A and B are shown apart, each in its own frame.
Chain A
């Protein structure tokens, strides 16, 4: 188990290193001068030269790479060109929105998907199965921003329970901040839950056909109890895999939802940074996302071992 963990950790670090090389190289091979790119066509040569100096672009390439890596390791991510603030502060502020949003959405998605999946598997081939999986099919097909609009219409415009958009910041108190996040979290969670419910159902149906289910039934346990106590945990491996993939997506892929709800999150930051050619910010955020994906994958690998004792022996 220790060897397995160490192995995963080393693989993760290696991935991070390769990703950093790729991110750095992409910006390196982009046509033109990053400084000119950032300043635009109308900038004076002096201004460009000054920015090149500031960004350290006059130094040799390997040195710049090491500088960049060293900076990230010491949490000095440089300074954003468009916002004129340290990138670290910018990222911190945005993560404070995106991370809670992603976590809430994920918890919601799991909390909806597993009972629905189990419900459908329990009634395999009957009306309940067809109905819930039909609903899930719609959930997969409908884009989340459409859900977002419906939710805004019902809960913000009509019932006036929550704000339609914007984020007051955590300084405004936990409750107002959460209220601002709940609708986007639901909008994000529904399509994810739909996918997850389908995975849960098919995985459960497969497990319910296994021999040990028959053994459990022969013990005298009622079917429902067998499903929850014996089948579910065995069915979790594919579910955990999908949850891991979804978390990475929820952290980074929220550009549309953040725009719909006008939330200052990572998605919007990277979107703006790209349109404004703020390359330092892009570099840093991409690296952060790569790191988070690697960490989540590590957690997924670990949870396999929690779910299945056979993997602990490795």
Chain B
């Protein structure tokens, strides 16, 4: 008898079928990966097992847990199973914990509820569990609150909550998506160990094929509410029997056309910094930035936090520079300074031969039209009450003279055309577009002033792999046709490989390593770069390892 066996699971909300046909089994001690793009029904499958579906959702079919039909279980029976026999870990560690309760209370609570243990006994068990997930008592007493912990540490607490009672099945829904690659590797190791220790079945949900391939004994590929195929991961992904699996696997390692040939390793070697100063589009010298810290008391001086420490680099016109590193390494601070949204503590930034640092806002205007940004979250960066025409034309205010109404409309139409959208789209509102289309709109907004530099801050991170491939194509295409240079901030080394000529590896505010992208990522020299590369999931390597 399987630990978990799902047969013909259907879930509908109103008239919409969210899940059409889900078949899945998990054996004790087995790691089953569930992959698919957003909206494919992965999370809904997990919530069906937990019977925590949103209001109004109806489930039919069969979900057997140790032979017991969960879809027919009463709420009381489910409460007994949840947290005791079935644990669950969620995607967003920053919000998954109650901010007003200590971590000790939150771990001990489930223990007390299920076992009827007293406070001190439950706290003992909570302590042991927190030790086990790598939060030792010396640094992480039970009295800590979630806000005193980092994202990775919070995810460990969530795992401690889920595993405190040694569940037979753990469902982990995108447990590492919000974490940087080094933390991701640590959390995945922890999950693997916990699964092996107690012969715990693990249902690992992820959009990341590489992660799932490395972790799982079997994977199930989901697409629009259906499990398309199931099997040993390397076999499923190398045979690619189902066309969708093939599409997914290809998109995961996608490199835009044209970039594949002119890989910097085979092509020209980028000019050295010394000779590049004169021709550099962007030149950053000895940049340092401090953030004011908290004062320990009213009378002591505030200590400051050094976010950037003596950073120097050049970016030539028309080239693409990747900025990679763990979260908190100073990537975003650097981007803000380059865009003159913040003033550095010391150092200089030159853009198109002119000094940016120390200029007044009015004097920056002519430079601003030549530098634009594309954000991670296309939805968050648009005012939902404005039409596309207004949203995309916003940067035109930077032009001198500001173009007339008709001219603006022409420019918007052209920008939309450049990013592969229709001129008619300018009359629509942002919510009428999909995530990928919205990212196209924000790229249209960025290129409407014909900038020389576009800063892309995790611009493809929240997109599904197939959409990501299209957007990477668009970036590569605009670079070719319009000669736009990119500063590409990303935590994803696959993306860095696909779109950048050179890469800066940042670590604790400093540049740990820089050079041609393929050279740095294939053969990292610095400690920080080696750690990053080792931790980054790589689909090809994972499949190769599996096939050995």
Binds B, one of A191-199, A276-284, A303-311: A303-311
Q: A3-B297, A210-B95, A211-B95 are in contact. Are A219 and B82 (CB under 8 A)?
A: yes
B425 proximal to A (CB < 8 A): no
B98 A214 Cβ-Cβ under 8 A: no
Contact-size category for B: 35 or more
| Chain A contact surface mostly | helix
A218 B113 Cβ-Cβ under 8 A: no
User: Which residues of chain A are near B475, meaning CB under 8 Å?
Assistant: none
B162 A2 Cβ-Cβ under 8 A: no
A234 proximal to B (CB < 8 A): yes
A2 B82 Cβ-Cβ under 8 A: no
Closest-by-CB residue of A relative to B84 is: A220
Q: A219-B110, A220-B110, A221-B113 are in contact. Are A211 and B83 (CB under 8 A)?
A: no
Q: How far is the CB of A236 from chain B (nearest CB, A)?
A: 9
Provide the bound-state CA to CA distance between A229 and B106, in Å.
11
Closest-by-CB residue of A relative to B105 is: A229
User: Which residues of chain B are near A216, meaning CB under 8 Å?
Assistant: 98, 109
Closest-by-CB residue of B relative to A230 is: B98
Provide the bound-state CA to CA distance between A186 and B283, in Å.
71
Provide the bound-state CA to CA distance between A81 and B113, in Å.
67
User: Which residues of chain A are near B76, meaning CB under 8 Å?
Assistant: 222
B97 proximal to A (CB < 8 A): yes
B100 A233 Cβ-Cβ under 8 A: yes
B100 A2 Cβ-Cβ under 8 A: no
B298 proximal to A (CB < 8 A): yes
- B394-412 to A contact mask, C-beta < 8 Å, 1/0: 0000000000000000000
Q: How far is the CB of B19 from chain A (nearest CB, A)?
A: 19
Closest-by-CB residue of A relative to B298 is: A3
Q: A220-B79, A220-B83 are in contact. Are A212 and B96 (CB under 8 A)?
A: yes
Q: How far is the CB of A314 from chain B (nearest CB, A)?
A: 8
A30 proximal to B (CB < 8 A): no
B220 proximal to A (CB < 8 A): no
A217 proximal to B (CB < 8 A): yes
A1-46 contacts to B (CB < 8 Å):
2-3, 6
B113 A219 Cβ-Cβ under 8 A: yes
- A179-215 to B contact mask, C-beta < 8 Å, 1/0: 0000000000000000000000000000000111011
A214 B52 Cβ-Cβ under 8 A: yes
Q: A218-B87, A219-B161 are in contact. Are A2 and B95 (CB under 8 A)?
A: no
Most buried by A among B80, B99, B158: B99
B82 A214 Cβ-Cβ under 8 A: no
A2 B101 Cβ-Cβ under 8 A: no
User: Which residues of chain A are near B75, meaning CB under 8 Å?
Assistant: 222
- A270-314 to B contact mask, C-beta < 8 Å, 1/0: 000000000000000000000000000000000000011110010
Most buried by A among B79, B84, B158, B162: B79
Q: A2-B298, A220-B79, A220-B83 are in contact. Are A215 and B96 (CB under 8 A)?
A: yes
Q: How far is the CB of B469 from chain A (nearest CB, A)?
A: 30
B100 A219 Cβ-Cβ under 8 A: no
Closest-by-CB residue of B relative to A314 is: B294
User: Which residues of chain B are near A310, meaning CB under 8 Å?
Assistant: 99, 145, 147
A3 B52 Cβ-Cβ under 8 A: no
Q: Which of B99, B101, B162 is within 8 Å of A218, CB to CB?
A: B162
Provide the bound-state CA to CA distance between A310 and B17, in Å.
41
B50 A218 Cβ-Cβ under 8 A: yes
B295 proximal to A (CB < 8 A): yes
Closest-by-CB residue of A relative to B80 is: A220
B88 proximal to A (CB < 8 A): yes
A230 B101 Cβ-Cβ under 8 A: yes
Q: How far is the CB of A23 from chain B (nearest CB, A)?
A: 31
B162 A222 Cβ-Cβ under 8 A: no
A219 B83 Cβ-Cβ under 8 A: yes
Provide the bound-state CA to CA distance between A125 and B54, in Å.
14
Provide the bound-state CA to CA distance between A248 and B360, in Å.
47
User: Which residues of chain B are near A221, meaning CB under 8 Å?
Assistant: 79, 83, 109-110, 113
Provide the bound-state CA to CA distance between A145 and B225, in Å.
59
Q: How far is the CB of B222 from chain A (nearest CB, A)?
A: 21
User: Which residues of chain B are near A215, meaning CB under 8 Å?
Assistant: 90, 96-98, 106, 158, 161
A309 B82 Cβ-Cβ under 8 A: no
User: Which residues of chain A are near B99, meaning CB under 8 Å?
Assistant: 212, 234, 308-310
Q: Which of A2, A218, A309 is within 8 Å of B83, CB to CB?
A: A218
B79 A222 Cβ-Cβ under 8 A: yes
User: Which residues of chain B are near A214, meaning CB under 8 Å?
Assistant: 52, 90, 96
Q: Which of A2, A234, A313 is within 8 Å of B98, CB to CB?
A: A234
B92 proximal to A (CB < 8 A): yes
Q: A211-B96, A212-B98, A308-B99 are in contact. Are A218 and B79 (CB under 8 A)?
A: no
User: Which residues of chain A are near B147, meaning CB under 8 Å?
Assistant: 309-310, 313
Closest-by-CB residue of B relative to A217 is: B52
A218 B88 Cβ-Cβ under 8 A: yes
User: Which residues of chain B are near A217, meaning CB under 8 Å?
Assistant: 50, 52, 82
User: Which residues of chain B are near A210, meaning CB under 8 Å?
Assistant: 95
User: Which residues of chain A are near B480, meaning CB under 8 Å?
Assistant: none
B298 A218 Cβ-Cβ under 8 A: no
Q: A217-B52, A219-B109 are in contact. Are A309 and B98 (CB under 8 A)?
A: no
Q: A3-B295, A215-B158, A310-B147 are in contact. Are A220 and B96 (CB under 8 A)?
A: no
User: Which residues of chain A are near B79, meaning CB under 8 Å?
Assistant: 220-222
A220 B100 Cβ-Cβ under 8 A: no
User: Which residues of chain B are near A212, meaning CB under 8 Å?
Assistant: 95-99
Closest-by-CB residue of B relative to A220 is: B83
Given contacts A3-B298, A222-B75, 19 further A-B contacts (CB under 8 A): A2-B298, A3-B295, A211-B96, A212-B97, A212-B98, A218-B82, A218-B88, A218-B90, A218-B162, A219-B161, A220-B83, A220-B84, A220-B113, A220-B114, A222-B79, A229-B109, A233-B100, A310-B99, A313-B148
What are 7 residue pairs bridging A and B, where the CB atoms are less than 8 Å apart in the complex?
Answer: A218-B83, A218-B87, A219-B83, A219-B113, A234-B99, A313-B147, A313-B148
